[in-house]
A and B are shown apart, each in its own frame.
Chain A
Amino acid sequence: TQLLEQSPQFLSIQEGENLTVYCNSSSVFSSLQWYRQEPGEGPVLLVTVVTGGEVKKLKRLTFQFGDARKDSSLHITAAQPGDTGLYLCAGGNQGGKLIFGQGTELSVKP
């Protein structure tokens, strides 16, 4: 059974601080997605990484896929209150099935 361990599960920081969220697994994934979810809504895709060692940037967000394609990180620089939400990582396999991490509830206080 493929599992994704996401940490931390809760994070409360002040505006302007940096943060990193981690997703780790003992399994290899064909792709790794990061989503953001607002309360009462479905997850919205932020990025997909597919190549080991790949780094993608989305404004203040930096996503990295581990060389062995077993882990990933999301780094947010100078967090803003608008970044508040639930961040989810999900590992994909060839069949298209996604395995989700536990999620990180981020709260950025002004």
Chain B
Amino acid sequence: GAVVSQHPSWVICKSGTSVKIECRSLDFQATTMFWYRQFPKQSLMLMATSNEGSKATYEQGVEKDKFLINHASLTLSTLTVTSAHPEDSSFYICSARDWGVRREQYFGPGTRLTVT
């Protein structure tokens, strides 16, 4: 299957700082990427849809000023958690949609964010 990478795989930051998470599609172009949040033992919650060259679409209840998404190229989307608080600690997962031959959605390995 296609490969999606995330960086970093884990990060610890202090309250009030900002953290950037990268999501890359390594062997296909992804005009659409998605960002999810997952709490322990729970399912994935869609946060936003990232479209290359345009503004992200956020799900209801997700603060767009807190979770900044940028999709500047066909292979890279970034999620920046601004002014992080301990309640932002979570597992963040991105996925990339391959609209080509495979037409599947592939997930990255996730980023564990801990805010102290």
Chain A residues in the interface with B (C-beta under 8 A): 6, 33, 35, 40-45, 48, 88, 92, 95-103, 105
Give the contacting residue for B34; candidates A44, A88, A97; CB below 8 A.
A97
Which 10 A-B residue pairs are closest in the complex by CB-CB distance?
Answer: A42-B107, A103-B43, A96-B97, A100-B43, A42-B109, A100-B44, A42-B110, A43-B107, A102-B43, A42-B93
**Contact sample, A vs B, 19 pairs, CB 8 Å cutoff:** A33-B105, A40-B91, A40-B112, A41-B110, A42-B6, A43-B93, A44-B107, A45-B1, A45-B105, A88-B43, A96-B105, A97-B46, A97-B49, A98-B95, A99-B46, A100-B44, A100-B45, A102-B43, A103-B42
Chain B residues in the interface with A (C-beta under 8 A): 1, 4, 6, 32, 34, 41-46, 49, 91, 93, 95, 97, 99, 104-110, 112
Q: Which residues in A have their C-beta under 8 angstroms from that of B112? A: 40
- Alpha-carbon separation in the docked complex, A92 to B95 (Å): 13
- Alpha-carbon separation in the docked complex, A100 to B37 (Å): 12
CB distance from A24 to the nearest CB of B (A): 15
